[in-house]
Amino acid sequence: MSHLHIQSKLPEVGTTIFTVMSALAAEFKAVNLGQGFPDYPMSAELTALVTEAMNKGYNQYSPMPGWMPLREAIAEKIAFLYNAAVNPETEITITPGGTYAIYTALTTVLRPGDEVIVFEPGYDSYIPNIIVNGAIPVRIDLLFPDYRIDWEKVRAAITPKTRMIMLNSPHNPTGAVLREEDIQQLRNLVQNTNIIIVSDEVYEHIVFDNVKHQSILRYPDLAQRSFVCFSFGKVYHCTGWKLGYCIAPAAFTSEFRKVHQFNCFSCHTPSQVALATFLRNKESYLSLGSFLQQKRDYFLQLMKSTRFTMLDSKGSYFICAQYDRISDESDKEFAIRITKEFGVAVIPVSAFYQDATDNKVVRFCFGKKEETLALAAERLSRI
């Protein structure tokens, strides 16, 4: 019998650092500030709406693009937030999570040999998604320690093969956000080109210090060349639901749905029915920024008792810190050691670079209960 062999499409990819650190956290009973999920309950009203939808019989397939009342509620929200008109019939697709929306957008567009500009550190799915589609990631480092985009580097990286630019704001893992001047630079850069934008905006409501989220949807010239991806899980503290959506021009959405219909086809119907009602409660998402800013500020106050140097976070529920006053270990070695010896799990930021760039920085998730953050800080103060 011959031994079958599959040539890997992702030969450089192994077990993710999130799996490694979460397993260590469980083994050593550590406080897990590594993986980005809340440890506090989601809205009881929203879970009750899901139960109600199930009891009323909304348990079969929803339409392939998503439950229409939910898409209509999203369109109303986009008009309210960003003064943008989005057609729920032809421009909104409900997806099983934001990461799926990003992957599907890439798969819709990319062909072998296309180049995609992607910034590092960056969410770990981007580059594997590019590679598995036969395209070429063109990596540009964000400027440390503020993690800003160097637009001159972007301009220099553009070639006739550049098909796409990937953006993420608020940014995972650093908490940086795009500014108005970034948007203007982007507009100037892509004008009169065929470059498509994929904008990951899953943390759209988690912005701090009176900063305005610079959604691509605010800018019609950019929106007409963009797939903009969102997550319900990040907004409503239900990451395990894996529900999100993609907004794109009608012609883009038509092609997006061709891929989508042969992959998952449709998403969990009772959750969509519930969200269609709950989404119209504006306060449920408008209050999210202040809710998590309180947690950020509380965590920053607690961390003054440690030797970490905290970096700025203007959005998301992540904040980074330098530990160079503590150790000269690599960030991965340091993260593993403090999980084992001090009982706090973090993520080494080198994991968000393909070449494992190590600035002696780790990432904390502060989207946790206050008692969780206090326990973590007390342990970190011993290092």
pLDDT number for residue 3: 77
CA-CA distances (angstroms) from residue 186 to 170, 221, 306?
16, 11, 39
Can you name the CATH fold of 60-281? Aspartate Aminotransferase; domain 2 (3.40.640)
The gap from C-alpha 252 to its chain's centroid, in whole angstroms, comes to 21
pLDDT at 13: 83
Q: What is the mean pLDDT of the chain?
A: 96
Answer whether residue 71 shows pLDDT above 60: yes
**pLDDT, tens only, 88-141:** 999 999 999 999 999 999 999 999 999 999 999 999 999 999 999 999 999 999
Measure CA 90 to chain center: 24
Dihedral pair phi/psi, residue 107, rounded to 5° = -65, -30
Please tell me the predicted confidence (pLDDT) of residue 308. Answer: 98
pLDDT at 76 over 60: yes
Q: Residue 304, Cα to own-chain centre: how many angstroms? A: 28
- pLDDT in the model for residue 73: 98
pLDDT of residue 19: 87
pLDDT tops 60 at residue 291: yes
Q: Which residue has the higher pLDDT, 12 or 357?
A: 357
- The Cα 365–Cα 211 span in angstroms is 20
pLDDT of amino acid 12: 83
Q: Compute the average pLDDT of residues 36-55.
A: 95
Binned at pLDDT 50, 70 and 90, residue 5 comes out as: confident
Domain spans in the chain, listed from the N-terminal domain onward: 17-42+286-380, 60-281
Range of weakest confidence among 6-15, 136-145, 324-333: 6-15
Element (H, E) at 314: none
Cα–Cα distance for residue pair 140/149, rounded to 1 Å: 8
User: Which DSSP symbol is given to 63?
Assistant: P
* pLDDT at residue 261, as a whole number: 97
Tell whether pTM > 0.75.
yes
Q: In whole angstroms, what is the distance from residue 206 CA to residue 287 CA?
A: 9
Answer whether residue 217 shows pLDDT above 70: yes
Kindly tell me if the per-residue pLDDT of 1 is higher than 60. no
Kindly state the average pLDDT of the residues 60-69.
97
CA separation (Å) from 213 to 283, 291, 367?
17, 16, 19
DSSP code at position 212: P
Contacting residues for 49 by C-beta, under 8 A, at least 6 apart: 273, 274, 275, 277, 278
Count Cα neighbours of 110 within 13 Å in the Cβ-side half-sphere. Answer: 31
pLDDT above 70 (res 2):
no
How crowded is residue 228: how many other Cβ atoms within 10 Å of its Cβ? 27
Q: Which residues pair with 318 in a beta bridge?
A: 365
Strand partners, 93: 246
Cis geometry, peptide bond prior to residue 145 (ω within 30 degrees of 0) = yes
Q: Which of 370, 269, 335, 361 is nearest to 30 (CA)?
A: 335
Contact between 92 and 64 under an 8 Å Cβ cutoff? The reply is no
- The CATH classification number of 17-42+286-380 equals 3.90.1150.10
Q: How far apart are CA 79 and CA 280, in angstroms?
A: 12
Give pLDDT, residue 37.
Answer: 84
List, for residues 355-379, the tens digit of each pLDDT value. Answer: 989 999 999 999 999 999 999 999 9
